[in-house]
Each structure stands twice: as structure tokens, then as C-alpha cells.
Amino acid sequence: MDLLDFPPEIFKRIVHCLVSDAGVAGSWKMRHVCRTFDQEISENVLAVQPAEAFLNSPDLRVLKNKENLKYYLAYHVKTPRDVLPELPAKIQKMVEYATKALEDTDKLHDRNILLEVCAAVAHTCRDPFTFIWRFNHTSVRWRDFPSHWQKERYERSRKELSRDITIRDQLIAAISVGAHDTVAKLLLQVPASLPLGGLGDPMVACVPQDDQNMIMIMMKCLDQDESRRFKRDEVTKQDSPYSVLDAMKLAIMHGRLDMVNLLLSYLHRYLVPCDNTHFHSWILRAVLSQHTEVLKALLQAAPGAKPLRVNSDIFEQGLKIGNPAIVSTMIKYGSMNLDSRSSQLSALSVSIRVGSVATIRAVAEAGADIGFVMDRHRLRNRGAITPLEYAIHFKKYGAVVCLIECGAKVPPISTWPTSKKMRNVLQNAVTKQKITTK
């Protein structure tokens, strides 16, 4: 008898046993192995498993995926089991508000408003796990809080969520369902300071659904104010509905190039002259997310219409992820210190230490001086050192060959290391170089 021949009740029970045995994270992986169980395992993990099932870090990572979290929230709004009541109750009120905002239009047909609102809450809620289950009355361990003020902050946040929906909540709910007219009306009622509460910047809710029109409507409302200083402050402060900082971070992570360019255009409009306070963190986020086109846009949109200077820490992170396209983009469109007397700041020395042959070649072809002498490094009992000697010290055989092929001057044989392998690598590279130059 095949498993699918069992009645639904038995099928669900079998899946539940499999989930209980494999654990949350293990079961989540089973979705890709056994597609027959995909829907049942997804629902079992997100809706049926008790709070204690997510206490381990691998299991918690399942919920840290915002796409999973929105389903988790939706399930627990409909069946508030094993969760604190404040957040599900808040979401339910937001759903009612969003539905009312659309009731006079034809946009309600075949839409899951609950899921759309939960998607926005998953991205804007500052700490959803706290309010869902993690510190409920059965599993809370106050010793996990380093100080008394954090406990007070937790209780204060719960109290804020238990109140009726604020104008910030209304904005996020309306944005999540694309109610443009409602958002425009709400913005006219926004006070000078918008209390944070449990949810974050409303602008963040525009990013998951890639609603650029919503952002333009919101910024059009901001443009109605004549004060340049007011507009400058509004796009960067946390208690403003026009804050673009968190929205920018999310757009970069999702690789939304058009959204990034749109937000950059508003930043440059309101922040004149613009500073690079946030650019370095955005560049690093784009590097780690491995979105080449977004990285290129950020590097070219740096303050003062000049390429942003990529520091050695960001460059090293790009090397470690092993994506040649990301490294090439940083070199081509960013301003880099290719040659430095310090091995920690030189792009060439950093690529030798943690990069690949392709990366070293890209840096060399970008104009780095192969023979540039570094006298500041962390190598003991060594004076000034060239990039080739630096590669020899770290036993980077591929880097040694690459540098010689790019024209590095080979040190005298008397200074070669005692390692037989390295001596062979040097000899072969020198021989190949002589043959090539004939």
C-alpha cells in the first residue's frame, strides 16, 4: 500500500511523527527531498510544532527566513496557540484595517489579505520572536537578559503592542496591500514624531512587494513641505514614516536594483551635500548578498559623484565569499588603495592572503604595482617585502605563479625558501617566463 493511499488523518499523523523525529531544521530540508510531503511538512513545522521545537539555533534559522515567518505569523493569527497574544491580536486589527481600506475598490478579489499583512509585519517587526513565543510565561528565562533595563524594555514593548493600532500600524497595513490613496491620506495626519512601538519603518513594507509607486507617493507627500532641513531629517531618522535607511538595507539584500536606485535618488535630493555615513554599510551588505548590479549602483552613487573608496575590510569580505564578479566590480567601480606601504591596506596583499589567482590577476590588471615594496606588515624578522615575497611567505603557490606571470621580479636563488615544493614552483615559473619572452 502506498503512503498516499492512507486517509488524510493518518497521513498527517505520519508526517508529524517524521517531523518530531527529524526536528524542525531536518524536516525543512525534507521538503526538497520528498515533494510529496512538501505542503504537509511546511504546515506541520510552521503551524503545529510547539514553541519548544524552535529553541535550538538551526531550528530558529527556519523562522528567520522572512518568507517562512510570514506563514508562521498567518497560521498563529488564525490559531493563536503557543504564542503571546499581543502580536497576533495586533495583526488581526491591521488586517481589518487593510480590508476596510480596500472595500470600496475591486482589489479584494481572490486576495489573502492576512498573508500580505503578515509579510509586511515579518519585515517591520523589530523582534517578532520575542512577541510570538520565545519569552512566553512557560519558557522565559530572565537570566538570559543581561540587565534589568532589558526586562523593562520587553514588558514596555508588550504593553505597546497590546494597544489599539497606531497610525504607524495603519500605514504599514495600507502599504502591505497597496492602498495608495489611503496611505496618502494617512500621511497628512502624521504627527511631527511618529512613535516607534513594536513595528519599524513603514517604508520597509514597500520593498518585499517592490512597490515603487508607493514610495513615490510617500515622497511626494514629503515634498509638499518647504523646509529642506525637515526633509533631510525625515529620510534619516527612525521615528519618521519617510525613513529610507532600513528600506535601503532590505532592497540591497533582495537585490532590488530599481528600488535601490529610486531610494538613492531621493537621498541625493534631500541630503545635499550628502555624506557617506551609511554608504560603507550598504556596500558591505551588497557584497555579502552578492548582488553585483546593486553593488555597482552603490559605488557609482557615492557622495560627490566620485567612486566610493572601498576599504580593506570590505574588500577582504568580498574575497572571502569567493565571487570573482563581486571583486571585479569593487575594483572597477570603486576607489581602492591598490598600492600601500602597509600589507593590511594594500588590495594586492589582501588578495594574496585570502583571495584566489583570478582575484590577484584582476588587481594586477587594474594597475597595482607588482613590485611595490611594503615596509609595514605583521611578518616577524622581515624588513621591506614585495608582493611576491609576501606570497612565498604564506606558501600561496598559485599566487606566486600568477605574480611572476604578471611581471614580478623573482628574488635571487640564494634567498629562496628551503621548501622543495616552493623552489620547484619558482623554478618552473621562471623557466616558463623565459620561454614566453623569447
- pLDDT per residue as tens digits for the range 58-82: 888 888 889 999 999 999 898 877 7
Q: Which of 250-254, 301-305, 390-394 has the highest average model confidence (pLDDT)?
A: 250-254
- pLDDT per residue as tens digits for the range 28-61: 887 777 767 788 888 888 888 887 788 788 888 8
Strand, helix or coil for residue 408: coil
Distance, CA of 419 to CA of 171 (rounded, Å): 67
Distance, CA of 425 to CA of 107 (rounded, Å): 69
Q: Which of 89-103, 150-164, 294-308 has the highest average model confidence (pLDDT)?
A: 89-103
Spatial contact of 287 and 303, defined as CB atoms under 8 Å apart? no
Query: pLDDT-based confidence at 185, cuts 50/70/90?
Result: very high
Query: pLDDT-based confidence at 303, cuts 50/70/90?
Result: low
Q: Dmax over Cα atoms in the chain, in whole Å?
A: 87
Average pLDDT over residues 342-362: 84
Q: What is the percentage of the chain residues whose pLDDT exceeds 70?
A: 88
Query: pLDDT-based confidence at 107, cuts 50/70/90?
Result: confident
pTM of the model: 0.81
- Least confident residue range of 222-226, 298-302, 313-317: 298-302
Residues contacting residue 400 through CB under 8 Å, at least 6 positions apart:
388, 391, 392, 422, 425, 426, 429
| Ranges assigned E (strand) in 244-292 | none
Residue 137, pLDDT score: 47
Distance, CA of 169 to CA of 125 (rounded, Å): 10
Assigned C-alpha cell, 434: 623565459
Q: Is the pLDDT of residue 104 over 80?
A: no
Residue 272, pLDDT score: 59
Q: What is the mean pLDDT of the chain?
A: 82
Spatial contact of 169 and 195, defined as CB atoms under 8 Å apart? no
Distance, CA of 166 to CA of 169 (rounded, Å): 5
- pLDDT per residue as tens digits for the range 357-369: 888 888 888 888 8
Assigned C-alpha cell, 337: 588603495
Assigned C-alpha cell, 43: 504546515
In eight-state DSSP terms, residue 125 is B
